[in-house]
Amino acid sequence: MWGRFMSALNTRIVLGGAAVDLMAFDPAVELIVERGKNHGEKPLAVASVNLDHIKHFGTNGPWAKILTDSEAGLRPRAGLRGQVNWLSLLDGAPLVTQARRLTGEKWPRLAGSDLIGPLLGEAVEREVRVGFLGGSPETHGLLKRQMRETRPDLVVAGWWAPPRAALSDSIASTAIAREIANARVDILVVGLGKPRQELWIAEYGSLTGAGALLAFGAVVDFLAGRVVRAPHWVSEHGMEWAWRFALEPKRLARRYLIDGPPAYARVRFERPLIVQQPWAS
């Protein structure tokens, strides 16, 4: 099943200590939908690599190498099962620029908020069942209304908005994963925020039965209309962070003003690497 994706999947780089898989937009959408429709031995977990990701999963981050260990099928750390294959996509202007410096090629920014529309469109066309984990019941109510109006043919297998305490409890999280499996979800959109969403997927993703799990952060809020996306020209100029900061200054001040600069320094000045993806050989 992986054969036709090999040319798009054989370039993995390491920036700031975090793995990044370089792909064009359409092959990324096709791969995710394909894995959702035709489940592999291990589910495909998709992460967006930006400076916030580098902070958590890059050099000296509290969960450094956890996602890479899962990708490589090695013995997982901190109790994580390592039963998912991670696809880590470029998300963030500094990483896009550094990838171009390293490879000499121009790579697109593949933010979850950009991918989700085409992914849901393909899910409708190919009868792929989608589920949503994360966000509040109020946000889910808004999103259900949006889906009825904009994507009435989308099959949503289930909505889960558990309290934060449940996501930190192994028994409760296992029960949630079993519910998702019973609902026969093919693609699970996981919007729990970094690093919780990636850690939850690494620990419980294989129990959900989903073929693809998307660690897409605030995408549920975007879809529900609770958060307004930056205009295209803002994103094109690498200033979406400033747009989001202006909308939510209290929540995002630490991420952008305190944690962001050290993460940027790691991306810009640490020695980058080009490696082969361990599950694409």
Residue 139 forms part of a structural domain: yes
pLDDT for 258-276, tens place per residue? 766 778 888 888 888 877 6
With CA atoms as reference, report the closest residue to 109 among 36, 51, 185, 190. Answer: 51
Judge contact between 86 and 72, C-beta under 8 A. no
- Residue holding tokens 């409760």? 172
What pLDDT, on the 0 to 100 scale, is given for residue 274? 79
pLDDT for 13-69, tens place per residue? 999 999 999 999 999 999 999 999 998 789 999 999 999 999 999 988 888 877 764
Count: domains in the chain: 1
Cα–Cα dist 30/158, whole Å: 23
Cα–Cα dist 45/59, whole Å: 21
Say if strands 273-275 and 12-15 run parallel, antiparallel, or are unpaired: antiparallel
Burial class of 38 by CB neighbour count within 10 A (0 to 12, 13 to 18, 19+): exposed
What pLDDT, on the 0 to 100 scale, is given for residue 7? 44
What pLDDT, on the 0 to 100 scale, is given for residue 255? 65
Quick check: 78 pLDDT over 60?
no
Residue 251 forms part of a structural domain: no
Q: What is the CA radius of gyration of the chain?
A: 18
Residue 260 forms part of a structural domain: no
β-bridge mates for residue 130, sequence order: 156, 187
- Ranking 96-105, 109-118, 185-194, 222-231 by mean pLDDT, the lowest is 222-231
What pLDDT, on the 0 to 100 scale, is given for residue 2? 36
Quick check: 151 pLDDT over 80?
yes
Categorize the per-residue pLDDT at 222 as very low, low, confident or very high, splitting at 50, 70 and 90.
confident
Judge contact between 174 and 145, C-beta under 8 A. no
β-bridge mates for residue 49, sequence order: 90
Number of neighbouring beta carbons within 10 Å of residue 201: 28
Quick check: 227 pLDDT over 80?
no
Q: Name the token pair of 8.
A: 């798009």
Quick check: 206 pLDDT over 90?
yes
Range of 60's domain? 3-228+269-275
Eight-class DSSP state of 42: S
> In 78-144, at which residue ranges do the beta strands (DSSP E only) sit?
85-90, 130-133
Categorize the per-residue pLDDT at 281 as very low, low, confident or very high, splitting at 50, 70 and 90.
very low
Residue 246 forms part of a structural domain: no
Residue 202 forms part of a structural domain: yes
Quick check: 101 pLDDT over 60?
yes
C-alpha separations of 151 from 101, 140, 272 in Å = 39, 15, 41
pTM of the model: 0.85
Between 235 and 184, where is the model more confident? 184
For 131-135, what is the mean pLDDT? 95
Cα–Cα dist 261/275, whole Å: 26
Residue 245 forms part of a structural domain: no
What pLDDT, on the 0 to 100 scale, is given for residue 74? 35
Residue 43 forms part of a structural domain: yes
What pLDDT, on the 0 to 100 scale, is given for residue 132? 97
Mean pLDDT in the chain? 84
Eight-class DSSP state of 41: S
Categorize the per-residue pLDDT at 1 as very low, low, confident or very high, splitting at 50, 70 and 90.
very low
Count of residues making up the chain: 281
Q: Which residues contact 85 (CB under 8 A, 6 or more apart)?
A: 40, 42, 43, 44, 45, 70, 71, 279
What pLDDT, on the 0 to 100 scale, is given for residue 214? 98
Categorize the per-residue pLDDT at 157 as very low, low, confident or very high, splitting at 50, 70 and 90.
very high
Quick check: 216 pLDDT over 60?
yes
Q: Name the token pair of 161.
A: 């908005």
Residue 81 forms part of a structural domain: yes
What pLDDT, on the 0 to 100 scale, is given for residue 237? 57
Quick check: 140 pLDDT over 70?
yes
Alpha helices in 58-111 (DSSP H): 66-72, 93-103
